[in-house]
Structure 1
Amino acid sequence: MPEHTPTPLPTSPEAVYRHGLRLLLDKDIPAWVGLWAEDGVMEFPFAPEGWPRRLEGREAVAAYMRDYPDHIDLQDIPDLRVHRTTDPDTLVVEMRAVGRVVDTDRPYDMTYIAVVTFQDGLITGYRDYWNPLVVREPGVDFTGATR
């Protein structure tokens, strides 16, 4: 009987990022968090008052994202542009995510720009420039943040 050879994880920044999107669409948050370096940092420069602006470490990212599928049923990433930079370990990503807000069954449609850094095939930094106006809409709470 032939031995099973596991599929290798992607290591190029773009491949890791695209794999991560697939994991989010599959609602596999533990595997997505597994793409992060132990000391990775996630930042939200446009976060409104009462929402986290900076998460330090894989465990903080895991805690923040743990319940994401309970709040947002992410269904598709219909628009995705990955821009390589002069630094081979940094990407700038433009994307649109669509789905539904679980509690209200309202449509979810968010545009993002992210600056993502990598080292040794893992995410070390993620600056997420998401639209804070969306969270001001009634019935939208998808991060578990206190507000």
Structure 2
Amino acid sequence: MTTSTAPADVYRHGLRLLLDGDIPAWVDLWDDEGVFEFPFAPAGWPERLEGKAAVAAYMRAYPDHIELHEIPDLTIHQTADPRTIVVEMRAVGRLMRTRAPYDMTYIAVVTVVDGRITRYRDYWNPLALPADGTADFAGSAR
């Protein structure tokens, strides 16, 4: 567990938890009233989750859909607000159902207050999903 409450450190720690498949610990990084948003969510996918319980329910099945192997590219930008970072990253792994490779690029705007994620805007690209419908969960879950 990271002891730092700096947004970049909390985010990096969260990535390690996702790579380890420890979704409950990742959810524990969230504030009880945290908001998770998906501005580019396709029709039928959630656009906004409100509260830690909603984030937990949403992420519960993540390991059943995606196995992350590495984050080969990660850049964290500080903003004028010391609580908010902008993250550019690429996640690589495999889709569990088909065993197909998973390679997704993300942009995220994340706000951390007192070591807890209070807002996470995930600008993942739904156009990068396989066109054959084999991806049930990519960057976001339904």
Interval of TM-score (by shorter of Structure 1 and Structure 2): over 0.9
- Post-superposition offset of 1:136: 4.9
- Post-superposition offset of 1:135: 3.0
- Post-superposition offset of 1:144: 4.6
Unaligned 5+ segments in structure 1 are: 1-6
Say whether residues 1:39 and 2:33 are aligned partners. Answer: yes
- Equivalence map 1:104-143=2 (5 Å): 104-138=98-132, 139-142=134-137, 143=140
- Equivalence map 1:36-75=2 (5 Å): 36-75=30-69
1:28 corresponds to: 22
AA aligned to 2:81 is D
- Post-superposition offset of 1:133: 1.0
Aligned equivalents of 1:144 and 1:35: distance in 2? 19
AA aligned to 2:136 is D
- For normalisation by structure 1, the TM-score amounts to 0.91
Larger Rg: 1
Partner-residue secondary structure (3-state), 1:108: strand
Aligned in 2, Cα 1:123/1:87: closer, same or farther, shift over 3 Å?
Answer: same
**How many residue pairs get matched?**
139
Say whether residues 1:89 and 2:80 are aligned partners. Answer: no
- For normalisation by structure 2, the TM-score amounts to 0.94
Aligned equivalents of 1:112 and 1:80: distance in 2? 10
AA aligned to 1:42 is F
- Post-superposition offset of 1:134: 2.5
Aligned equivalents of 2:2 and 2:102: distance in 1? 33
Aligned equivalents of 2:2 and 2:104: distance in 1? 31
1:135·1:141 contact (CA, 8 Å) conserved in 2? no
Deviations along 1:30-54, whole A, 9 cap, x unmatched?
A: 0000000000000000000000000
1:99 corresponds to: 93
AA aligned to 2:86 is V
Question: Which range moved further: 135-144 or 122-131?
Answer: 135-144
Question: Which range moved further: 129-138 or 10-19?
Answer: 129-138
Partner-residue secondary structure (3-state), 1:140: coil
